[in-house]
Amino acid sequence: MKEAAIEAYLVKRVHALGGEIRKVSWPGHRGAPDRLVMFKRGRLFWIELKTPRGTLSPLQVREHTRLRLMGQKIFIVRSKSEVEDCLADA
C-alpha cells in the first residue's frame, strides 16, 4: 500500500472522529513527523507515515527521540489497521 493511501485514510478517520489533523513542515529542520493529530481535551499526538516496508531515517529517529523526551506521543503507521490502532490508543 502506498503512503499516500494510508495518509488519506488517516485524515478521513481523524475527521470522522471529530479531530483535527495538520501536515507538518519545519523549514530548515528535517526529520519531523508527517502529521499532528489533535482531539478535544488536549489529546495530541504525532504520526510518522511509512510504507509497509519503510524504515526511519537516522534524522527521523533522532527527532522522534527528542520529541518523546519532551513527553510527546509518536506513532509509526504503516497500514490502515495501524491507523485504527493508534486512534484507539491515543
- Cβ proximity of 75 and 47 under 8 Å: yes
All domains in the chain, ordered by first residue: 3-89 (3.40.1350.10)
- pLDDT above 70 (res 25): yes
How far from 37 is each of 2, 45, 47, 58, 75, CA to CA, in Å? 20, 5, 7, 23, 11
**What is the pLDDT confidence band of residue 89, given thresholds at 50, 70 and 90?**
confident
pLDDT band at 1 (very low <50, low <70, confident <90, very high): confident
pLDDT at residue 90 tops 80 = no
CA–CA gap between residue 65 and residue 71 (Å, rounded): 10
| 53-85 residue pLDDT tens | 999 999 999 999 999 999 999 999 999 999 999
Placement of cell 511509512 in the chain: 50
Contact of 83 with 6, CB cutoff 8 Å = yes
How does DSSP classify residue 41?
A: T
Q: Is the pLDDT of residue 47 over 70?
A: yes
